[in-house]
Amino acid sequence: MEKGYRNLGYALLLLIPLAYFGMDKSCFIHFPQFGEQMNGYLRFHTVVVLAWIGLLIAQPMLIRYHKVDWHRRVGKWSYFLFPVLILSTWFQVIRISGSDEPMNLFFPLADSVLLILFYGLAIYYRRQQPLHMRYMIGTAIVFLGPTLAYIGPHRLGWSANFTQYAQYAITIFLLTGLLRLDQMHGKKYNPYLIIGLSYAIHLLVYSLLFMWT
């Protein structure tokens, strides 16, 4: 693993407290039984998201500690888990489509597109470890969206629009830092440019839908 990314697995451990604060507390209080407090969608989605976060953390750890065979085995499980993750998101699409705010379909649809794009590129470049790793980092960044979407209004009292733009600011900050890290070490940073361009389109569409309508 590249020297600058040797601690990536430990950095991704931050997804655990973010997931805790970014979900309704009932998701964790009742895990794994849940009980009647959670509907079927939330049960399914919570389990799948936690499994995916576990995979994101485990994979760079396995590379760091030279468990390449296990890294490949776990990676093959992602071929099953990723479609299930997207399916769990589409349950939310169905729910929102029948609500009074159909414009909110933007969020699960846009995040699904980003996940599919970054994961697809990661698999396409699976034999080129530096590119593969950077696109998988892109899939991890996508989870900041729904996480901050809950933390902002429910934990910090932010408005929905302020929360969304805070998400964009944090994403730009992270991508800029990662890009500069690669520049300093003479690495190819094209994946971060593609991820950044994808989020620029995300920002543009959001602004058109929610700010100028």
For the whole model, what pTM was predicted?
Answer: 0.87
Q: What is the mean pLDDT of the chain?
A: 85
Domain of 180 in residue numbering reads as: 3-210
Q: How many angstroms separate the Cα of 170 from the Cα of each of 13, 24, 173?
A: 18, 22, 5
45 Cβ contact list (under 8 Å, min separation 6): 88, 89, 91, 92
For residue 212, name the pLDDT band (cuts at 50, 70, 90). Answer: low
Taking 50 as the threshold, does the pLDDT of residue 189 lie above it? Answer: yes
Number of structural domains found in the chain? 1
